[in-house]
Amino acid sequence: MNHQLELRNVTKAFNTEEGKMGALEGISLVVKPKEFLCIIGPSGCGKTTLLRLIAGLDYPSSGEIILDGKEVKGPSPDRGMVFQEFSLFPWRTVLKNVEFGLEIKGMKDKARKELAERYIELVGLKGFENCYPYELSGGMKQRVAIARALATEPAILLMDEPFGSVDAQTRNILQEELLEIWKRTKKTILFVTHSVDEAVYLADRVAVMSARPGCLIKCLSIDIPRPRKRTSVEVNEFREQLLMLLSLERSKACISV
Amino acid sequence: MREKKGLHFLKRRGIIEIIGISTVVVIWQLVASFIVKKTYLLPSPYEVFFAFYTVREVIPIDIYISLLHFGIGLGAGTAVGITLGALMGGFKLVDRAMDPIMEILRAIPPIAWIPFAIIWLKLTHYSAGFVVFVGAIFPILINTYTGFKSVDKIYIDAAKVLGCKKGMSLIKSVVLPYSLPYIAAGTRIGMGIGWMCVVAAEMFGASGRVGLGWRLWNRFYALHMMDKLVAYMIIIGLIALLLDRVFRYFVEETTLKWRKGMVAA
Ligand SMILES: Nc1ncnc2c1ncn2[C@@H]1O[C@H](COP(=O)(O)OP(=O)(O)OP(=O)(O)O)[C@@H](O)[C@H]1O
Ligand SMILES: [Mg+2]
């Protein structure tokens, strides 16, 4: 198994009161194993929808999503997800949240605790194991969510604007931690973001989406060696390219309205 | 804001409360002994205090029996209420099938079940227990239902992505813990109603010649011993208060640490 993910002409429409509303249109994409792919696009263009389809929480209206040669038929712990909104179980402590997936797997108490503690340490929250989510800040909550998603050791990690609710400083730190985790655990990461800076700093490849109904307008390989410097010339060039693509997209959207 | 120095001692815990209670007792005593002047119409605190003393021997057994009735009814009400509420909250079909029946049954005051309680269960502890059951079950059922219905989808999704398949494991690991505060709040309301039902059912002699309610009505009221009657009223009230406090303490301190204040008054 090399965990290759392939989307073939994926379309998604929602049934609403005003009839069918297109959210995604004809998305075709191959994500290589161990790739760090960022997805960027205007608000409401269907980024969350796309991740939910890959996670198996929802189904495409047409087209197919293939993982390891098999069609995705529902959620599975081989695809972890970090949600855009806070999703920690408020009735569980940090430790118990991270242990959740392992409990479902039927792992024994002691092994479970050890593994969970390892991931809590990995996201830099050692010492907070027995806190409840309401005692944590927004950024800490997202880190627990990341630890929880990592604990079941999924081959693919789907991250939906995980750093959207933290300040710039913390965000930079979290980005670095994430790259570190990615290097160490060798996962495929699909990372949704609003931020061009974030995409250029993190990604091997950036997929740019159009406004609703979302389709892919461009996939851009960011071939800058890591560690990247946030202010280097190459980074700036990519940033400009992406900004231009997005602003073109925005004006197009305005015309079509 | 700065207060006058002379009133400062009032701020200490309990002082104001004691003053409040004492004032009421003093006024009650004055009204009883100088205005009403008839024990039959209004026994004075002094008389009530002595009444406690004269009936001291039957108080423990009456409390025990009433708590037994209460326990039977609340136990059954909790078990059945949570089960039915969960089924109705979890399955649309069950919900639609049961909802009309539940609405009608719920509208019948529990007291109206006393005749059938006696006919079906004879003069046993179970028959007062049954009335408590009818009183306690609906708030528990409805709250469990509401809890099950209002689970945030995000928690379900998160659990699914972490490997929770549909059905029992989802209910056990997400829906039930999420609903616990609702269930606790329902149980608390059910306890209040259930305790009223105990007294009423015993007054009607649903369980024979036992219990706080039975003695209050069939002994003290029947023989016009109003001082003892008031003593029993106070006991009944204090027990209700105590039950509520113990429940709140237990629930908030142990199971619901994660959601402080949810079941608070
Ligand atoms: N369950 C649903 N039912 C109906 N419409 C939906 C549903 N989920 C999403 N949509 C619609 O699909 C479109 C895409 O939504 P989505 O949440 O994927 O956007 P997004 O790109 O993640 O936006 P943001 O960046 O603001 O998070 C939106 O217009 C939204 O209104
Ligand atoms: Mg989104």
Instruction: Return the residue matching tokens 């009444």.
Output: B51
B154/A92 Cβ within 8 A: no
Pick the atom of ligand 1 nearest to A84's CA: 27
pLDDT at site B130? 97
Look up residue B221 and give its DSSP letter.
I
User: What is the structure's pLDDT at A245?
Assistant: 86
Query: For all residues of chain B together, what is the average pLDDT?
Result: 91
User: Best mutation site among A40, A47, A196 for ligand 1, i.e. most ligand atoms within 8 A of its Cβ?
Assistant: A47
Q: Which whole-number Å values give the CA distances from A128 to A110, A136, B22, B61, in the listed order?
A: 18, 9, 49, 50
Given pLDDT bands bounded at 50, 70 and 90, which one contains residue A77? confident
The answer, yes or no, to whether any atom of ligand 1 lies below 6 A from the CB of A251, is no
Q: Which carries the bigger pLDDT value, residue A106 or residue A248?
A: A106
User: What is the rounded CA–CA span in Å between residue A169 and residue A3?
Assistant: 34
User: Rounded to whole angstroms, how far apart are CA atoms A117 and A108?
Assistant: 14
Total CB pairs under 8 A between chain A and B: 67
Cβ contacts (< 8 Å) between B169 and chain A: which residues? Answer: 104
A18: Cα within 13 Å, side-chain hemisphere: 2
Average pLDDT of span B118-141: 96
Q: Are A87 and A147 in contact (CB under 8 A)?
A: no
Structure tokens at B34: 């100088």
The residue contributing the CA closest to ligand 1 atom 18 is A46
- Residue A250 is predicted with a pLDDT of 63
Every domain of chain A and the residues it spans: 5-78+154-256
Q: What is the pLDDT of residue A112?
A: 94
Query: Once rounded to an integer, what is the mean pLDDT over residues A2-19?
Result: 87
Q: Would you give the DSSP letter of residue B7?
A: G
In the β-sheet with A216-221, what is the strand arrangement from edge to edge? Answer: A79-82, A156-160, A188-193, A36-40, A205-209, A216-221
Over 80: is that where the pLDDT of B170 sits?
A: yes
Q: How many CB atoms lie within 10 A of CB B129?
A: 28
A12-48 pLDDT, tens digit each: 999 888 888 888 888 899 999 999 999 998 888 899 9
- For the segment B38-74, what is each residue's pLDDT rounded down to a tens digit? 889 999 999 999 999 999 999 999 999 999 999 999 9
Least confident residue range of A206-220, B207-221, B226-240: A206-220
- Report if pTM > 0.90: no
Gap between the Cα atoms of B265 and B256, Å rounded: 15
A46 lines ligand 1 (CB under 6 A): yes
In chain A, the residue whose alpha carbon lies closest to the alpha carbon of B258 is A91
- Residue by residue, DSSP assigns B247-261 as HHHHIIIIITGGGTT
Q: Which pLDDT score, from 0 to 100, does residue A103 have?
A: 93
Angle at B151 between CA A53 and CA B132, to 5 degrees: 155
Among candidate residues A57, A32, A34, A209, the one with its CA nearest the CA of residue B160: A57
Cα of A83 from ligand 2 centre, angstroms: 9
pLDDT of residue B7: 66
Residue with tokens 């237990």: B250
Which of B162, B257, B259 shows the shortest C-beta gap to A101? B162
Residues 6+ apart with CB under 8 A from B35: none
Give the number of residues written for chain A: 257
8 Å CB contact between A221 and A232? no
* Cβ(B98)–Cβ(B218) below 8 Å: no
**Above 60 in pLDDT, residue A253?**
no
Q: Which of A11, A12, A14, A50 has the most ligand 1 atoms within 8 A of CB, as the residue to mutate?
A: A14
List the CATH code of the domain at A5-78+154-256: 3.40.50.300
- Residue A256: pLDDT band with limits 50, 70, 90: very low
Give me the percent of chain B exceeding a pLDDT of 90: 80
B66 vs A33, B55, B63, B129, B221, CA distance in Å?
69, 16, 5, 9, 18
The residue among A226 and B13 whose pLDDT is bigger is: A226
User: What is the average pLDDT across B128-139?
Assistant: 97
Write down the mean pLDDT value for chain A.
88
Torsion B227-B229-B230-B232 (CA) sign = positive
Q: Which of A162-176, B163-177, B235-249 has the highest mean pLDDT?
A: B235-249
Backbone angles phi, psi at A24, to 5 degrees: -135, 145
CA distance B183 to B37: 48
In the 8-state DSSP scheme, what is residue A240? H
Name the closest residue on chain B to residue A102, using Cα atoms. Answer: B162
- The confidence band for A255, taking pLDDT boundaries of 50, 70 and 90, is very low
Least confident window among A249-253, B35-39, B107-111, B215-219: A249-253
Nearest ligand by distance to the CA of A22? 1
B168 in contact with A, Cβ within 8 Å: no
Confidence of residue A79 (pLDDT cuts 50, 70, 90): very high
Q: Of A88, A15, A12, which Cα lies nearest the Cα of A57?
A: A12
Q: What is the CA radius of gyration of chain A?
A: 18
Name the CA dihedral angle for B88, B91, B97, B102, rounded to a multiple of 10 degrees: 0
What three-state secondary structure class fits A37? Answer: strand
Query: Which pLDDT band holds residue B219 (cuts at 50, 70, 90)?
Result: very high
User: Whose Cα sits closest to atom 17 in ligand 1?
Assistant: A48
The residues, ordered by sequence, that sit 6+ positions from B152 with a Cβ below 8 Å of its Cβ are: B178
Residue A80, token pair as written in the block = 């972890």
CB of B158 less than 8 A from some CB of A: yes
How far from A56 is each of A43, A76, A172, A186, B162, CA to CA, in Å? 22, 8, 30, 22, 12
Measure in Å the smallest separation between the Cα of B251 and chain A Cα atoms: 13
Give the one of A87, A88, A101 whose C-beta lies nearest to B163's C-beta.
A101
Q: Out of A245-254, B187-196, B212-221, which region has the weakest mean confidence (pLDDT)?
A: A245-254
pLDDT at B195 over 60: yes
- Determine whether the interchain pair B159/A91 forms a contact, defined as Cβ–Cβ distance below 8 Å: no
Whether A47 lines ligand 1, by a CB cut-off of 6 Å, is yes
Distance (Å, whole) CA A131 – CA A96: 10
